Structure 1
Amino acid sequence: MIVVASSAALVLVVLAAAAAWRFAMVRNSGARAMMRELPAEGVHGWRHGVLRYDGERLLFFKLRSLTFHHDIELDRRGVAFEGFRNVTEDESEFMPEIGHVLRFSGPMGDFEFAADRHSEMGLISWVEAAPDARKERIDVHSLAQRAQRDSGQR
């Protein structure tokens, strides 16, 4: 009985530590936003979180998650905007400062995004600044130099 109780207490301590770490490390480290994966009906599926831009990737960390890793990752070269829609009356109850919702699709599926105007414009600018995948060329010479440099350091 003592073993079971101590095991349960240990699991609770680990979960509490994970929640505290996630809250402290993620909450103030990016742009606050809400996202949901489509298809979704009504107000279901919206998740509060933080966006981080990491080079060519958009990382979304859900605030109510205990993982030590991001929850959604999107490559900006694969994101395409579908347009905007107005916030519904039910959505305006928990997103009072949001006027519209941005719809976009990516390799992982279709999403809706809601945030303040600055975060929204940041996302749009970041995606639109992506180089066109058709114009990217692989420089074989620089890759060979990098491979030789990396193998020589070890």
Structure 2
Amino acid sequence: MAWLLYFLAAVALFVVIAVLWRFFTLRSQGYPVVVRRLPNSDGRHWRHGILKYSGQAAKFYKLRSLRPASDVVLTRLGTSIVSRRDITPRESAFLEDHVHVVEVVHRSTHWEIALDSSGDTALVSWLESAPSERRIPRH
């Protein structure tokens, strides 16, 4: 019976270490955003997390996830901005006042990303720095 307690304690310790590792490593490397997949009703299914940009992809890591990999991947050439809007009164209950919502489409899947103006600038810069499809060599 004692071995079961040791095993459960080891599993709990592993989970705590994994959560802390994910939180502290990603927090310092990405941009805080709130994301949801569309269609969704007003104020539903928003997920807090970090958006981490790399050369060809923006990876979203949910705040409350234990996955070592990203939860959503947006490729640069497959993503475009559709629209921007202010947050709704219902969304203002859990989103900060200075954020707005950017709708993006990635390969026919629509997403909304709530971020501030600096985050919007970072997203636009990342998308615009992609090479034109005409300049990509085809083999």
Q: For residue 68 of structure 1, what is the amino acid of its counterpart?
A: P
Structure 1 residues without counterparts, runs of 5 or longer = 141-154
Partner of 2:95: 95
Partner of 1:24: 24
Quote how far apart the aligned CAs of 1:134 are: 4.0
Q: Which aligned segments of 4 or more residues in structure 1 are displaced greater than 4 angstroms?
A: none
* CA RMSD across the alignment: 1.8
TM-score (norm 2): 0.89
The aligned runs of 1:82-121 (5 Å cut-off) are 82-107=82-107, 109-121=109-121
CA contact under 8 A between 2:85 and 2:102: conserved in structure 1?
A: yes
> Which protein shows a greater Rg?
1
Structure 2 residues without counterparts, runs of 5 or longer = none
CA distance in 1, matches of 2:131, 2:51: 21
- Identity over aligned pairs, percent: 33
Quote how far apart the aligned CAs of 1:108 are: 7.3
The aligned runs of 1:1-150 (5 Å cut-off) are 1-107=1-107, 109-138=109-138
CA distance in 1, matches of 2:97, 2:30: 19
CA contact under 8 A between 1:98 and 1:114: conserved in structure 2?
A: no
Q: For residue 38 of structure 2, what is the amino acid of its counterpart?
A: L
CA contact under 8 A between 1:27 and 1:63: conserved in structure 2?
A: no
